[in-house]
Amino acid sequence: MKPFIVLRDLTKDYNGKVRGLDGLCLEIYPGEWVAVMGPSGSGKTTLLNMIAAMDQPTAGSIYVNGVDLLSLTEEERARFRREKAGLIFQQFHLIPYLTTIENVMLAQYFHSMADREEAAHALQEVGLGERMRHYPSELSGGEQQRVCIARALINQPKIILADEPTGNLDAENEKTVMGIFHRLHDAGHTLLFVTHDPQIGIQADRTIELEHGRIVPALSTKGPVLSSFG
Ligand SMILES: Nc1ncnc2c1ncn2[C@@H]1O[C@H](COP(=O)(O)OP(=O)(O)OP(=O)(O)O)[C@@H](O)[C@H]1O
Ligand SMILES: [Mg+2]
């Protein structure tokens, strides 16, 4: 099987000073669920941003499904983000003056055409069928996170990138959200998932640990050892 995501010697320097990633090499296979762990500042969010074409590396290469992301124009990168990558951010990034369903429909709008029924279906999927007319400020943290998941899933992205999606959730909401990720995994989506919680990380096919922008070799576990280390 060919890897779906290939990162080669990926380095990211911020302002020419702070090193976010340091020669990182990683291969992720289609349908694989990878948990990304590591201390604060180790480069987890930077890594997700690179794969989502949100930001560009200082050096190295990124291939997704055989496409060299760094060869794309700004417009093509925007299309890649809309069509291929579903992002669930560390912060919720919901628009405060739009209702739950409008927030989800906004993601559809950027993709193609807003479709209220489809947005409603996505919200039902994450258990928020009853909260569609509420504003973000009227929702709990777990509910807001589930709106973000519905929004990320609306375009059926191949890759789902989630930055600590359970970080602010209580046990019950965490269970609901993890159930959604298990369903997505079963449906064949490729998942990259940042977490600080080993109990969450162990649910993935594989865990990688970052430290100072590099992968710590010892912790590649469970399934086959698929990554090469930088
Ligand atoms: N926009 C930026 N400008 C300058 N430095 C940045 C920027 N974004 C991240 N960094 C730095 O790059 C390093 C990696 O940051 P990153 O956000 O990827 O860490 P993280 O592993 O996601 O941490 P956390 O667990 O706290 O979210 C850190 O030292 C951080 O300060
Ligand atoms: Mg982060």
pLDDT tens per residue across span 96-127: 999 999 988 887 776 667 788 889 998 998 88
Question: Is 163 contained in some domain?
Answer: yes
* Cβ atoms of 84 and 159 closer than 8 Å: yes
Q: How far is the CA of 134 from the centre of ligand 1 (A)?
A: 33
| Residue 40, ligand 1, Cβ within 6 A | yes
Between the two ends of the chain, the Cα-to-Cα distance in Å is 22
Q: Is residue 205 in some structural domain?
A: yes
Tokens of 205: 């096919």
91 lines ligand 1 (CB under 6 A): no
Please check the confidence at residue 223 and state whether its pLDDT lies above 70. no
Ligand 1 atom closest to the CA of 42, numbered from 1: 21
For ligand 2, the distance from its centroid to the CA atom of residue 115, given in whole angstroms, is 32
Ligand 2 center to 47 CA (angstroms): 9
Using an 8 Å Cβ cutoff, are 172 and 127 in contact?
A: no
How many domains are there within the chain? 1
Q: Half-sphere exposure of residue 130, counting CA atoms within 13 Å on the CB side? A: 3
- pLDDT at residue number 222: 53
Q: Is 17 in the pocket of ligand 1 (CB under 6 A)?
A: no
pLDDT of 221 over the 60 cut = no
Which pLDDT score, from 0 to 100, does residue 87 have?
87
Whole-prediction pTM: 0.88
- Which residue's CA is the closest to the ligand 1 atom numbered 5? 14
In-domain check, residue 224: no
Ligand 1 contact, 58 CB (< 6 A): no
For residue 69, name the pLDDT band (cuts at 50, 70, 90).
very high
Note down the domain range covering 120.
5-219
Identify whether 225 is part of a domain: no
Residue 15's CATH number: 3.40.50.300
Whether 92 is covered by a domain: the verdict is yes
Distance CA 183, CA 80 (A): 23
Residues 6+ apart with CB under 8 A from 218: 209
The pick from 46, 49, 168, 209 for probing ligand 1's pocket by mutation, whose C-beta has the most ligand atoms within 8 angstroms, reads 46
The Cα 177–Cα 62 span in angstroms is 29
Q: In this structure, is residue 129 part of a structural domain?
A: yes
* Cα–Cα dist 52/77, whole Å: 9
pLDDT tens-digit profile of 182-212?
999 999 999 999 999 999 999 999 999 999 9
Distance from the CA of 114 to the center of ligand 1, in angstroms? Answer: 34
Residue 45 lies in a domain: yes
Which of 18, 47, 197, 208 for a ligand 1 pocket mutation test, highest count of atoms within 8 Å of Cβ? 18
